[in-house]
Amino acid sequence: MEIYLVGGAVRDKLLNYPSKDRDYVVVGSSVDEMLQQGFEQVGKDFPVFLHPDTKAEYALARTERKIGGGYKGFEVHASPEVTLEEDLLRRDLTINAMAQRADELIDPYGGKVDLEARILRHVSPHFTEDPLRILRVARFAARYAHLGFSVAPETMKLMQEMVSSGELALLTAERVWQEISRSLGEQSPDIFFEVLRQCDALAVILPELDVLFGVPQPAKHHPEIDTGIHTMMVLRQAAKLSDSAVVRFAALVHDLGKGLTKADNWPSHHGHEEMGLTALKTVATRLRIPNEFVDLAEKVMKYHTHCHRAFELKAATLLKVLEALGAFRQPQKLTSFLLACEADARGRKGFENKDYPQADWIKQAYFAANEVDPKEFVKRGLVGKKIGDAIHKRRLEVIQQLKHARAD
């Protein structure tokens, strides 16, 4: 039995990049032998075990043979005869096909060279057998873009051919959303969607986003003109402002409605806020997106232009927005909303470092209105709906006073 550290841990160690995963491959062993050593078997499709003490994952060396469609259509062969090189050959990228034992690096497919050249390159033609790899490559590109990594031209060409074959449509909603949500947590999430667009996968995975490219906006407010480019700029700003994947997703989809407005009215997109809700619902249903993501995305989509015009809003409208956001029950929702709106305001050519005082004004109005104490109305003997009406009325008065004070 020989045990090797493999995959991401080896890659990130060579990059001097933080890594959480430590996966091992076991060569020359069997299921029975692993169980005798005290390992706990957890893999159903192939033999994967948890170490009895560290709980790290140990997998028997295996080969895979394509026998059906999608990412599940594989026949797995794990036995003591499978070599380390054969196990590494089935992996996606050369930088993920390295192994280490003590101080010895095993690198049969040139992963270290590609790592130094900052290239994401497929290991073998077997790459085409798993459509999920298209999304994984895009995610790795998003993770390491700031280090100068890019997708090898021949790998990009292969990904385009895979998309043309139609296999991408066989991926389950859960796996697609898993890769999207993971990418939103990477350092450069916009690169994930850019890579998917380059290989034509974005039109399959997120057609509602893909159609935004080429849709013009008014140059006065959007010097970058193109709605798709603006969306990527917004996502970049969101990544700078917040680590939250929920905030970043809201920033990503906030302008989906601009893909539904009439071309005859371009570059104007009147009503795109409400129109986008339909597209968002379609995406959320298709990809089974968690409610937490959908809820904030709906709020940002519907009210981001209100936020940009915060200084012009009547007190009643501002209070209505705060109530719609659920700010008085969950203040964090207001914080997340404002971050996504700020990302939208800065995600424009030449606006990247512009102040966004609207957020401070809305916070000020919220803090003042939140000081209204319900106990005051209970003491007066009000009950039920009358308490809520009284609170609303007093909050409105407070915001009106604040607006007058600001005007003075």
Give the integer Cα–Cα distance in Å for 408 and 404: 6
Give the integer Cα–Cα distance in Å for 237 and 356: 13
Residue 72 has pLDDT above 80, yes or no: no
Is 118 annotated as ligand-binding? no
Strands (E), 134-190: 150-151
Nearest CA-CA partner of 295 in 336, 339, 260, 241: 336
Is 91 annotated as ligand-binding? yes
Is 12 annotated as ligand-binding? no
Half-sphere exposure of 278 (CA within 13 A, CB side): 9
Contact call for residues 83 and 28 (beta carbons, < 8 A): no
Q: Which tokens belong to 21?
A: 């995963």
> pLDDT averaged over the chain?
93
Contact call for residues 196 and 205 (beta carbons, < 8 A): yes
Is 136 annotated as ligand-binding? yes
| DSSP β-bridge partners for residue 3 | 26
Specify the pTM.
Answer: 0.91
Give the integer Cα–Cα distance in Å for 148 and 154: 18
Rounded to a whole number of angstroms, the CA Rg of the chain reads 26
Looking at per-residue confidence, does 23 or 65 come out higher? 23
Rounded to 5 degrees, φ, ψ at 105 are -100, 125
Residue 370 has pLDDT above 60, yes or no: yes
Is 329 annotated as ligand-binding? no
Nearest CA-CA partner of 123 in 149, 148, 150, 86: 86
Half-sphere exposure of 127 (CA within 13 A, CB side): 26
DSSP state, residue 19: -
Is 8 annotated as ligand-binding? yes
Nearest CA-CA partner of 187 in 7, 356, 18: 18
Looking at per-residue confidence, does 379 or 174 come out higher? 174
Is 62 annotated as ligand-binding? no
Contact call for residues 266 and 222 (beta carbons, < 8 A): no
Question: What's the pLDDT at 373?
Answer: 86
Q: Which pLDDT band, with edges at 50, 70 and 90, does 258 fall under?
A: very high
- Mind listing the pLDDT tens digit for each residue in 211-243? 999 999 999 989 999 999 999 999 999 999 999
Question: What's the pLDDT at 67?
Answer: 60
Question: What's the pLDDT at 199?
Answer: 97
Contact call for residues 244 and 332 (beta carbons, < 8 A): no
Three-state DSSP class for 339?
A: helix
Residue 386 has pLDDT above 90, yes or no: no
Nearest CA-CA partner of 300 in 376, 358, 247: 247
- Mind listing the pLDDT tens digit for each residue in 40-57? 998 766 789 999 998 889
Give the integer Cα–Cα distance in Å for 199 and 179: 16
Question: What's the pLDDT at 64?
Answer: 79
- Mind listing the pLDDT tens digit for each residue in 92-133? 999 999 999 988 999 999 999 999 999 999 999 999 989 999
Contact call for residues 70 and 10 (beta carbons, < 8 A): no
Question: Which amino acid, one-letter code, is at 170?
Answer: L
Question: What's the pLDDT at 70?
Answer: 53
Give the integer Cα–Cα distance in Å for 380 and 377: 5
- Mind listing the pLDDT tens digit for each residue in 351-363? 999 999 999 999 9
In SS3 terms, 249-307 reads as: HHHHHCCHHHHCCCHHHCCCCCCHHHHHHHHHHHHHHHHCCCHHHHHHHHHHHHHHHHH
Burial 88-126 (b: 16+ CB within 10 A, else e): bbbbbbbbbbbbbeeeeebbbbbbbebbeeebbbbbeeb
Rounded to 5 degrees, φ, ψ at 220 are -60, -45
- Mind listing the pLDDT tens digit for each residue in 174-194? 999 999 999 999 999 999 999
